[in-house]
Amino acid sequence: MSFKTARNHARRSINRAPWPLMARTVPWLTVLLGSLVPSWLMIASAPVMPPIGYLIFLSWHQLRPGLLPIWAGLPLGLFDDLFSGQPFGCAVLLWSASSIVLDLVENRLPWRNFVIEWLMANGLIIAYIVLCLALANFGGAASPIRVIVPQIVIAVLAYPLVGRFVAISDRFRLTPFLVSR
Amino acid sequence: MAPPANRRSSYSRRAQYSTFLSYSAGVLGAVVGIGLVVVSLVNPDMFSSLRGFASDATEPASQAAAGGRELGRNTLAEISGFLHSGSENARIRRELDEAKVRLVQAQATNAENQRLKALLGIRDGDATPVAFSRLTASTGASTRRYATLGAGRDKGVITGMPVRSPMGLVGRVLEVGASSSRVLLITDSESLVPVRRATDGVPAFAQGAADGTLRIRLINLGINPLKKGDVLVTSGSGGLYRPGTPMAIVTDLLRDGAMARVLSNPSDTDYVMVERAWAPPPPPPPAVSPDGKPLGKR
């Protein structure tokens, strides 16, 4: 960062400010990492991993509305599609649609409590997994709906943990660094 | 949570435009997604080079992850082995004695087989594996069952080669990248492998059921001859999979077939080997024009 912005940041607190590059990129990087992680944990012979990239994406939207722009589903979904095994474009479509839904809810229902947030997240997760199955079946597979039941349960149970992880990343993102003059 | 103060577009033209543009971009993303889905449904191989590039780029990280998985599995195996070591040792010694005798018998049978095949003039084809590698990643969050193999064009892997582990068949190569390739596992619902019963050769198809098991469909309908515990091996018809590769064991009987468990669980396999396709289909005959000259590029 340039000298002038560094000085402006320093005036806000006593010589400390979050690093703007980190504050902007950490949400994107965590989602990208989340898209890769389920493929590394095990060589699965059934769909058992929660869609961690999508869970992190949702969680950032709920923790910091407006931090990821509405169009974030396009680049992040493209990356997820490269590794997810779904028909290409599945995540682009579903992530963009979830972004729009979350933003509408944010505008219509500005005051939300924990239960509403949790129910909304679960609804979106279940819809996402079911629609992924439907798109994969359109693409030539023939999986019955019972094979995704364990995945739905695991994803719903994993969402609070993912939320915790996102909260930690948020604190990390805004870590104030010593700004040298 | 309290809504941020500046979310509403106010009378400010600038705020209104930026809200409108961000919504348009969001809708555009969804439309692009629909377009990509339609293209990939019509032509699934359209984005294979892109996927190959991505899996090549993340291959070092995937290899490291595969190493970590192996370490964790070995640690667990050592702990459980330590707990049962005494009784296991006795049992294994007993089995080893039996196995030594059986091995000699099998060697004799093998030699006789070789001799008889030489008499009949049957050739086995080139059975040497093309490459040994690890399965580095898999699509654990999708209903499709693909795995990524840490060997690609650099090791001579080409599309259609069967992949197996010491325990049995794992899948076949679907897309090949520079240093990694994509494997369709036999448990995917689009994978169809011709099999036969190991003991008497009852022919059937093994289709993936997408939940880690296989659906066995008999070719000759009628009385279901399968029994629980039957071992199925690949039959080699169709020319893709080498005959006699162990494949699955029957667990549940159905009216017109059975459900079977896969013998080589891919999550327990360290290394897999890529074999040549058993008998690749012959190349199409060269096109000949009516005047007898071969057609070339105009």
Model pTM above 0.80: yes
Which residue of A43, A65, A86 is in closest CB contact with B142?
A86
Of A62 and B292, more confident: A62
User: How many angstroms from the chain centroid is the CA of residue B263?
Assistant: 13
B23-80: pLDDT as tens digits:
888 899 999 999 999 998 888 888 888 888 888 888 888 888 888 888 888 888 888 8
ipTM, 2 dp: 0.82
pLDDT band at A1 (very low <50, low <70, confident <90, very high): very low
Residues 6+ positions from B207 with CB-CB distance below 8 Å: B189, B191, B192, B193, B214, B215, B217
Q: What is the pLDDT of residue B296?
A: 47
A96-147: pLDDT as tens digits:
999 999 988 888 888 888 899 999 999 999 999 999 999 999 888 888 888 8
Query: Is 70 exceeded by the pLDDT of residue B199?
Result: yes
Separation in Å, CA of B40 to nearest CA in chain A: 6
- Output the average pLDDT for chain B: 84
Residues A63-73: b if buried by 16+ CB within 10 A, e if exposed: bebebbebbbb
Name the residue range of residue A131's domain. 3-178
Domain count of the fold of chain A = 1
CA distances from B9 to B13, B18, B41, B118, B218 (A): 8, 9, 39, 85, 65
Rounded Cα distance, A80 and A28, in Å: 12
Torsion of CA A121, A126, A129, A135, to 10 degrees: -110
| Helix ranges (DSSP H) in B84-160 | 85-120
For chain B, the C-alpha Rg in angstroms (whole number) is: 26
Rounded Cα distance, B210 and B215, in Å: 10
Q: How many CB pairs under 8 A join A and B?
A: 213
Which residue of B22, B38, B44 is in closest CB contact with A71?
B22
The single-letter code of the amino acid at B197 is R
B280-297: pLDDT as tens digits:
555 566 666 556 555 544
